[in-house]
Amino acid sequence: MKIAILPGDGIGPEIMAEAVRVLRALDLPGMELHDGLVGAAAWRVHGHPLPPETLALMHACDALLFGAVGDPACDGLERHLRPEQAVLGMRKELGLFANLRPAKVFPGLEAQSSLRPEVAGAIDLMIVRELNGDVYFGEKGMRETADGQREGYDIMSYSESEVRRIAHAAFRTAQGRSGRLCSVDKANVLETSQLWRDVMIEVAAEYPDVTLEHMYVDNAAMQLVRAPGKFDTIVTGNLFGDILSDQASMCVGSIGLLASASLGAEQTAYGTKGAYEPIHGSAPDIAGKGLANPVAMILSAAMMLRHSFGLEAEAARIEAAVASALNAGALGADLGGTMGTVAIGDAVLAAL
């Protein structure tokens, strides 16, 4: 059970330290943790955000715990050297095309949501975000128009096979939940989305026990704050899924609460290889202050135990400890409390 520990930048190291404490407390036989550098932290040492040393570690491990990357000091670098290329590169290099982002309100935290408590209380949804395609990975560049203006461009595209494989992942996810799948696209405007919708409908024929509906992304953004409890499983593209999941986090209460699993086709001796990371970024505005909520990172470790190592009981144990600690008031500033990163980690450990 080899796990790559990739804290990254900003609050990444602070929240990773808490997740590692929780993992170590479980005392799992055969668990090995291997540290690696990603993002600006790697660029400062090796001159690249995803250096060969880290890539080799990623390939050698059964699962990866990833903190966050991003550093304002690097915003002026050429794009291929920016910290964010580490997370994009990891997902592409390992073929991690299915990003599962669960959003569920924790008992006792309904009032921390940006929504009314009775609306927030009904949230229990899963966003299945495609992670290897879309406008994030299309050809991009800067060119000059005929009248001498600068013009930036990013090509949005999806191939049929890319949509088909995420469709199967989403239908299977919906089967394991309530059997309702909502595919979010912009098929009224985008050809990419029309293909997405057509393939979703084709794949639906193989899952007669799942009810498929379609929703345009602008409406989905609205419905997510109007009646989020009506969603069960959402499947969407890379860009829309990125945006909708940040929005879902505030419906739950804080972006510091939402974990994710990024899975591909590769199987190890233990289960599906995957990378596990909070949905948030490196939060430079609070980095180094001990204020970051480590819950999303800790819950990402739980998702790792479930998906990559088949350790369901241990995953559930972490999730129960987090729910109990939050319910008992282990809240940071993001949730209206006063606790810092380490104190929240202590509370989770005490509840384990």
Ligand X SMILES: NC(=O)C1=CN([C@@H]2O[C@H](COP(=O)(O)OP(=O)(O)OC[C@H]3O[C@@H](n4cnc5c(N)ncnc54)[C@H](O)[C@@H]3O)[C@@H](O)[C@H]2O)C=CC1
Ligand Y SMILES: CC(C)CC(=O)C(=O)O
Which residue among the candidates 35, 153, 218, 230 is catalytic per the annotation?
218
Q: How many CB atoms lie within 10 A of CB 59?
A: 12
Q: Which is nearer to ligand Y, 87 or 100 (CB)?
A: 87
- Alpha-carbon gap, residue 169 to 262, rounded angstroms: 11
> Candidates 101-109, 152-160, 223-231, 273-281 — which segment interacts with ligand X by CB under 6 A?
273-281
Task: Give yes or no for a contact between 30 and 305, defined as CB atoms under 8 angstroms apart.
Answer: no
- Report helix, strand or coil for 278: strand
- Alpha-carbon gap, residue 279 to 303, rounded angstroms: 13
279 binds ligand Y (CB under 6 A): yes
**Residue 75 is among the residues annotated as catalytic for this protein:** no
For residues 37 to 76, the per-residue mask of contacts with ligand X, x marking binding by CB under 6 A and - elsewhere, is -------------------------------xxx------
Residue 283 binding partner per list ligand Y, Mg ion, ligand X, none, with a CB distance cut-off of 5 to 8 Å that depends on partner kind: ligand X
Longest dimension (CA), the chain: 66
Cα dihedral 216, 222, 228, 233 in deg (nearest 10):
20
CB of 278 to Mg ion, least distance (A): 10
Residue 62 binding partner per list Mg ion, ligand X, ligand Y, none, with a CB distance cut-off of 5 to 8 Å that depends on partner kind: none
HSE-up of residue 133 (Cα within 13 Å, Cβ side): 20
292 binds ligand X (CB under 6 A): yes
Cα dihedral 198, 199, 205, 206 in deg (nearest 10):
-170
**Residue 334 is among the residues annotated as catalytic for this protein:** no
Return the residues of window 72-131 that contact ligand Y according to CB under 6 A. 84, 87-88
What 8-state DSSP symbol labels residue 182? E
277 binds ligand X (CB under 6 A): yes
Residue among 110, 185, 242, 319 that touches Mg ion (CB under 5 A): 242
167 binds ligand Y (CB under 6 A): no
Task: Give yes or no for a contact between 325 and 347, defined as CB atoms under 8 angstroms apart.
Answer: yes
**Residue 230 is among the residues annotated as catalytic for this protein:** no
274 binds ligand X (CB under 6 A): no
The β-bridge partners of 211 are 180
Q: Which is nearer to ligand Y, 170 or 348 (CB)?
A: 170
Site residues for Mg ion per CB under 5 A: 242
Catalytic residue positions?
136, 186, 218, 242, 246
